[in-house]
Amino acid sequence: MEIEFLGAAGIVTGSCHMLTINNKKYLIDCGMFQGRKEITKKNFEPFAFDPRKIQAVILSHPHIDHSGLIPKMCKEGFRGTVYCTRAAKDLCRIMLEDSADVQERETIYDNKRLKREGLPLREPLYKKKDAQMCMNLFRAVDYNKKIRVAPGLDVVFRDAGHILGSAILELFLTEKNKKRKVVFSGDLGNPGSLIVKNPTLVKEADCVLMESTYGSRIHEDFKERKTILLNIIKDSYRKGGVLMIPSFAVERAQEIIYVLNEFVEKGLMPKMDVYVDSPLATKATEVFLRHPECYDAETKALIDSGDNPFEFPRLKYVISVRDSKKLNEIKEPFIIIAGSGMCNGGRIKHHLKNHLHEKNSTVLFVGYQAEGTLGRRIRDGAKKVKIYGQWYDVKVNLESIGGFSGHADKNFLLKWIKNFKDEPQVYIVHGEPRESSALAEEIKKFNKNVHIAKLRQIVSIS
């Protein structure tokens, strides 16, 4: 019984941990590395394992940094089963296809340059057909039910409160006569997050793998997030510019729409059109409507009362590129919600190009900005940024609200880990080194058995 950390060790992205039990190998997540070039090039390196020898992937949630290399695995011969929740499967279908689309487009872009420079052309990491094919391997399961993956390996998916369909994994292992329990936190959301249920507190484990995205930080504005958002909207309306909200297409976008719907219902919203300029966010919203089993009580009640929180009069979902380009001609103040959340892709880059130089426009960050991303550079105050090979002055107003983060803060992470009895072995994953060490230091105060996971480190579950 051992686990090897193959990603999200020392960094946030590339979540992948290989479990070996009864001489068989399983993956917990198989995510893509995202961010700087030195990080993303890892996606093109050969896997540390033979994909044909992996029995199954147990997937915590559909975010690309957790699921994004499954099509590559499939392309290289993986024929096992991918276990995840029902909503996660529906989201994976659209997110993996979108990821393939991004890969294919980036390859076309890169190959133009390579051709100019007389260098050999490259292949995309995977194509749409690989993403579609791998969906045949997915098996959707219910929350809170024990699922047999193999003799000696059972799993229970528990609410993680992070995005629709996200899960904490409880893994029940039996090898010879030894029984052990491993808990993988996945990405933990905030208690009180919108739409989805709260993260589950787990009591028992011999070994815990836990995320540390916000290992040192506290979301001070969690309770006031709606008021702060409303004030930023009103401010932006007064300034007369565009309010650009780079947002993950899944969960964050729906949460923002959910809150805007509330403002509209209460008559608080200034007269502004709201454009969701993301085909992926539009498709994801449809998936949200199909999975009421994931809703918290408030969202359930709202929908039962007849109010669809993802629709209101001035809200428009933009699908075509032509309609997206038309947004550039609008003269009145308006709001754009577009992906990607960290500005390293998607239509938000085009809107940033067009508006970053405007003193009356605003960029509002509502999510995590990883090191090396365009979003991080803008948020950190760069005066000029490069987008698609050209430099642009940054004169817009910058705002951020931590309270919409999909990740629990230090306080909740500590509460979650403190809830385990008998001091389990703890391995910290999914964090930048500063965040992981800060969290480890705090945990050490009540559990000495805490370690920061290192890439390619193999640990045995005792």
Site string for Zn ion, 257-296 (x = CB under 5 A): ----------------------------------------
Tokens of 444: 């050490």
Q: How far is the CB of 127 from Zn ion (least distance, A)?
A: 24
Give 356 or 429: the residue with its C-beta nearer to Zn ion.
429
Nearer to Zn ion, 334 or 368 (CB): 368
Taking the complex as a whole, the smallest distance from the CB of residue 166 to Zn ion amounts, in Å, to 7
Near Zn ion in 58-87, by CB under 5 A: 63, 65
Cβ nearer to Zn ion, comparing 65 with 399: 65
Using CA atoms, how far apart are residues 161 and 84, in angstroms rounded to an integer?
15
Piece of the chain touching Zn ion by CB under 5 A; list 42-50, 57-65, 200-208, 224-232: 57-65
Determine how β-strand 425-429 pairs with β-strand 167-175: unpaired
Q: Where are the beta strands (DSSP E) in 187-280?
A: 207-211, 242-246, 273-276
Contact between residue 154 and residue 172 where contact means Cβ atoms under 8 Å apart: yes
Tracing tokens 């380009």 back to the chain, one arrives at: 325
Residues 6+ positions from 360 with CB-CB distance below 8 Å: 239, 240, 241
Convert residues 165-204 into a mask of x (bound to Zn ion by CB under 5 A) and - (unbound).
----------------------x-----------------
Dihedrals phi, psi of 422, to nearest 5 degrees:
60, 35
Reference 243, options 225, 256, 262; nearest CA is: 256
Least distance (Å) from Zn ion to the CB of residue 115?
35
Query: Which CB sits closer to Zn ion, 4 or 187?
Result: 187
Nearer CB in complex with Zn ion: 91/125? 91
The greatest distance separating any two alpha carbons of the chain, rounded to the nearest whole angstrom, comes to 71
- Is residue 251 involved in binding Zn ion (CB under 5 A)? no
Q: What are the residues whose beta carbons fall under 8 Å from the beta carbon of 220, sequence distance 6 or more?
A: 402
As a dihedral over the C-alpha atoms of residue 272, residue 277, residue 279, residue 282, rounded to 10 degrees, the angle is -30
C-alpha–C-alpha distance, residues 327 and 432, integer Å: 36
Q: Give the closest residue to 60 by CA, choosing from 105, 91, 99, 20.
A: 91
How far apart are CB 270 and Zn ion at their closest, in Å? 32
Minimum distance of Zn ion from residue 449's CB (angstroms) = 24
Total interface residues for Zn ion by CB under 5 A: 3
Q: How far is the CB of 65 from Zn ion (least distance, A)?
A: 5
Q: Closest CB to Zn ion among 16 and 269?
A: 16
Window of 56-64, 252-260, 333-341, 449-457 that interacts with Zn ion by CB under 5 A? 56-64
Residues of this chain that interact with Zn ion (CB under 5 A) are 63, 65, 187
